[in-house]
Amino acid sequence: MTIQTNTTRVDTSPIRLVIHGGAGTITRSKLTKELEQAYTQVLAQSLTAGYAVLDAGGSSIDAVIAAIVVMEDSPLFNAGKGAVFSNAGRIELDASIMDGSTRMAGSVAAVTTIRNPIRAAHAVMTKSAHVMLMGQGADAFAAEMGLEIVDPSYFYTQFRWNQLQKAIAEERLMQDHDVVPNTPQPQMDEKVDEKRGTVGAVALDRHGNLAAGTSTGGITNKRFGRVGDSSVIGAGTYADNRSIAVSATGTGEIFIRTVAAFNTAAQVRLQQIPIIEAADNTLAEIAAIGGDGGLIVLDAKGNHAMRFNTRGMYRGTIGSDGIVRVGMFAANDKAVSMPSLHRTR
């Protein structure tokens, strides 16, 4: 899917933003046309927001935040507003961010009142001496830093509440996109296979710096303060100017066990393995011990990859040419133009 934005570049330095919104059993048969359009719209808005930062000469960190905030504010994805419920009926959010130029990083886990956890992760990175904060402490820190704090009811959606009741009745965990999320459509398919709705972004700015970020609500019906890979630096998020920036989505426990993001970066930096091959190697290792999901990868030259071992992954990219490309299903999807999202300078 392609959206052209008209731009006038003042230099030839490459810029690139790549995003994901979760990987899983994502096929055309599972989505109505209206829902597909809704996903396309939000993915395109996310890319446009991040691109505006990069095109104006802003940092890759700020571009990652801008892109992720759009998806955190949408009920379509399992992050922020669209997050899933724990077994206790709470929404507990995880996020992380990393700067490839300094390898500084920040993350939050199991937060409940921060509207945009990716902003809190950034605050941990830049305004504290720590890398990870969790729970009430992280919520209090975010409030002290002046971030937007909301009542937990802000995150409530009837769809996610119904999803929790179904999981409790069936006495099982449900991955975050087990059924189709809230849409403008009055009817939703309750028999959709598992999908993951974690969101993430990687960016390269005109200064040659990489950044990566990831945000999620975790797993429906999770218990005991469970935390997945999205807040774990090296598992769900990693960035290093010497190699690549990575954001992951999928079976969180196994992405932690394989240190998936760092694993991919190490292959590129230490073995000079091409980024696509490195991502595929990591996903093969994950599959070998029972996991699945996807990775978005970007290097300091602007080369990028969006790889997954599931039926599909919500994903997109925009580069120096100002063209937005959005995908959900197999790699051979036809491009779709969306003139309503054209932007002029």
Could you report the per-residue pLDDT of 180-228, keeping only the tens digit for each? 454 443 333 333 334 468 999 999 999 999 999 999 999 999 999 999 9
Q: What is the C-alpha separation between 18 and 239, in angstroms, rounded?
A: 13
39-67 pLDDT tens trace: 999 999 999 999 999 999 999 999 999 99
- Average the pLDDT over 280-289 and give the result: 97
Give the pLDDT confidence score for residue 2 in this predicted structure: 46
DSSP-derived pairing of the beta strands 105-111 and 312-319: unpaired
93-118 pLDDT tens trace: 999 999 999 999 999 999 999 999 99
344 pLDDT exceeds 70?
no
The active-site residue, picked from 198, 216, 220, 258, is 198
- Taking each helix axis from N to C end, the angle separating 117-127 and 135-144, rounded to the nearest 10 degrees, works out to 80
198 labelled catalytic: yes
Reported pTM: 0.89
In 3D space, the residue among 57, 69, 22, 32 whose CA is nearest the CA of residue 218 turns out to be 22
